[in-house]
Chains A and B, each alone.
Chain A
Amino acid sequence: MRGYRGFFRELGRTGSWRALALQFRTGAWHVARRLLRHAEAADPVERFLDQYRADGVVAFDPGAEALARQAQACLVCGLCSLECARVGGRPPLDPRDAVVAASRLAVDWQRLGLSPGRACEGCSACEDVCPVRIPIAGVQRHLATLGEGVGTPPAGCDAPGDG
């Protein structure tokens, strides 16, 4: 009722039924619009993404976000790369690069061409030498799932690993 106080005051001041009709029309239109919007609604996140997907915005799942937070502890010490090369691993993406990439939260991997599309062997040797205990094998697996269906990285991107 509070919101209509102005309306009644206006009616009392002007005594005009025309003012009343105008107010009613505006109010009814407002209510109808709200109802209509609810009908079209779906998930607001989905609506947002529909709007901005073309600009490279993607949704990230909570698992990936947790992984990204763990990856942000990276000291970039490079011990994982050394251990990986020592045990003869041939990952599509160097473990250090993978962790640094995964520490960026909402990046469209496919557009950056970072997604390898296949995981490393998953021997976890790199995890044993990591001073901050980042689940590097999990990061590699995650990046691989993101890259499924993606071909070779576009020209100009670093070649994944160097063999």
Chain B
Amino acid sequence: MTVAVVGGGLAGRTAALDLAQRGVAVTLVDGGPGATALCGGSLDVAAASPGVSWLPWRDPLQGRPLAPRERLRLLLANAPTHPYRVLFGDDDVAATAALEAGVERLRGWLAPSGLAVEGSLDDARVLPNLPGTVRVADYALTGPAGADVREVEEVVWVDVPGLEGWDPSYAARTLAYDLEALGLVAPKVRVLRGTWPEALRGPRVARIAPRLDRAEQQTMLCDALRGEGAAGRLLLVPPVLGIDHVAACIGRLEEAAGGRVSEALGHAPHATAGFRLQRGLVAACGRLEVRRGRVAGVREAADGFQIRFEDEASLACAALVLATGRFAGGGVSAHAVVREPLLGLPLHDSEGRRVDGIPAHRSVRKGYANAQPLYTAGVRVDASMRPLTAKGAVRHARLFCAGDLIGGFDPARERTGMGVALATALRATEQVAALVGAGA
């Protein structure tokens, strides 16, 4: 009997791909992309997010920027409910090794799609966002990965006239201000106007990006930016440089411009990089058995599960990996009351309170800047990634969780979502393979 993985995002696809590589018969139940496809291009395992996350960006005593592995150590020491803590205890060496191994696997899966995951746990990048704010990113995808503003003397925003809701001069001012606030030597920032070709304009990133997959449109942009680059200068473009051929597009542009060209990080609804990541993962799962559709319910038995789909079809499986995500993916529903819709698993927030079965608004705290414990709500798991009941016992020996469905951390605020997805999925598959036996 097959092992079912429910979830079409990073955690679910990681689990399915890893199980397939271990020789386990696996069916991926793909109910659509979750938060994975909304990522702006940075893939974080323990990234600092000044003003948002409590993880520090600099060493408070020495003032130098912290490496991701140092922040990981701080996180393990200070976040008792974080899934990393469940996975690795306070062993930061094991955590680092597991995360690096996970990223290496991801690189292998994305390489055929021409996407690279750049970066390492030794040095973070400082990447600009489309509105001009900066983000500290551990890893980054092809596209925005080359936009580290610490290494350049001059940043030039390339104006795309007509792009709705984006003003390059505003982005330039914000970038200069944010870099100063981070205590970095701010490069000169200016805006390059009047070069973007007429034929490549549009009100939406979504309408421009697919056009730049085509060679003739790339040539047009190359001609427009020819000679604009220089040593120490970074040409920064909104995330429009193609969908399937972004590496080729940037390569051609850099050659023509004679300097560095990179995309800014996107954000929904301009999450081009997340869209590319999702496409890369879907392509990697091309050889797997994939069942499209949403799960209506799951029935438990002693030796497995019966999954019922919304179209009344059903699937029997020997073990089940739930990677349904949180609020964006649908793994945690907040309609009427907060609940886990498939099995009614108990949900706890990072403060240990049980939040399922009560209306979401009751768990919301006043104040815009306050951390909301509701956003940390998720399933509690043991070290094998098996969900626990309210009393702390294992719910089912053949049920596993991965990704954002596991609670105790806030994926948006703590910037650890990608690391959690990879590490929990790989731990769960290790356990599943041991349970059902490879080759079963």
Asked whether A82 lies within 8 Å of B243 as measured between CB atoms, the reply is yes
By beta carbon, the residue of chain B nearest A77 is B268
Inter-chain CA distance A81–B210, complex, in Å, is 11
Contact A131 B269 (CB under 8 A): no
Do A129 and B37 have beta carbons less than 8 Å apart? Answer: yes
Is B278 interfacial (CB-CB < 8 Å)?
yes
Stretch from B199-207, B297-305, B350-358 that touches the partner:
B199-207
* Cβ contacts under 8 Å, B280 to chain A: none
B416 interfacial contact with A, CB 8 Å? no
Which A residues, 115 to 131, have Cβ-Cβ distances below 8 Å to chain B?
128-131
- CB-nearest residue of chain A to B37: A79
A86 at the interface (CB under 8 A from B): yes
Contact B271 A131 (CB under 8 A): no
B209 touches A85 (CB 8 A): yes
Determine if A40 is an interface residue (Cβ-Cβ < 8 Å): no
Query: Which residues, 41 to 75 on A, are CB-close (under 8 Å) to B?
Result: 75
| Residues in B270-287 with C-beta less than 8 Å from chain A | 270-272, 275, 278
- CB contacts under 8 Å to A, within B322-342, are 328-330
The size of the chain B interface, using a CB distance under 8 A, is 29
Residue of A nearest to B33 (CB): A131
B206 touches A82 (CB 8 A): yes
Closest beta carbon of chain A to B62's beta carbon, Å: 40
Q: Are B31 and A78 in contact (CB under 8 A)?
A: no
B294 at the interface (CB under 8 A from A): yes
Given contacts A76-B268, A78-B270, A82-B272, contact A129 B32 (CB under 8 A): yes
Decide yes or no whether A142 CB sits under 8 A from chain B.
no
- A162 and B328 contact, Cβ closer than 8 Å, known pairs A81-B269, A82-B275, A133-B294: no
The A90-145 residues at the B interface (CB cut-off 8 A) are: 94, 96, 128-133
Report chain B residues within 8 Å CB of A77.
37-38, 268-269, 271
Please give the distance in Å from A97's CB to the nearest CB on chain B: 9
Query: In this complex, which of A77, A133, A158 has the most chain B Cβ atoms within 10 angstroms of its Cβ?
Result: A77
Please, how many angstroms separate the alpha-carbon atoms of A82 and B209 in the complex?
8
Q: Which applies to chain A's interface (DSSP): helix, strand, loop or mixed?
A: loop
In B233-260, the 8 Å CB interface with A consists of 243
Task: Tell which of A75, A81, A131 has the most Cβ of chain B within 10 Å.
Answer: A131
B68 close to A (CB within 8 Å): no
Partner of B32, one of A94, A96, A131, A162: A131
Bound-state CA distance A100–B275 (Å) is 20
Chain B residues near A88 (CB-CB < 8 A): 210
- Which residue of chain A lies nearest to B292 when distances are taken between CB atoms in the complex? A128
Q: Does any Cβ of A come within 8 Å of B34's Cβ?
A: yes
Partner of B329, one of A85, A131, A158, A162: A131
In contact, A94 and B37 (Cβ under 8 angstroms): no
B269 near A96 with CB under 8 A, answer yes
Specify which chain A residues have a CB less than 8 angstroms from the CB of B329 in the assembled complex: 131
Q: Which residues of B contact A130 (CB under 8 A)?
A: 32
Cα A86 to Cα B245 with chains together (Å): 12
The complex places the Cα of A79 from the Cα of B32 at a distance, in Å, of: 11
Judge whether A133 and B31 touch: CB under 8 Å.
yes
Cβ–Cβ contact A162 & B204, under 8 A = yes
Query: 5 A-B pairs, CB-CB below 8 angstroms?
Result: A85-B209, A86-B209, A131-B330, A133-B294, A158-B203
Other 16 A-B pairs with CB < 8 A, given A85-B211, A133-B32:
A75-B328, A77-B269, A78-B204, A78-B205, A79-B271, A81-B206, A82-B209, A85-B206, A85-B209, A86-B243, A128-B292, A129-B275, A131-B32, A131-B37, A162-B202, A162-B203
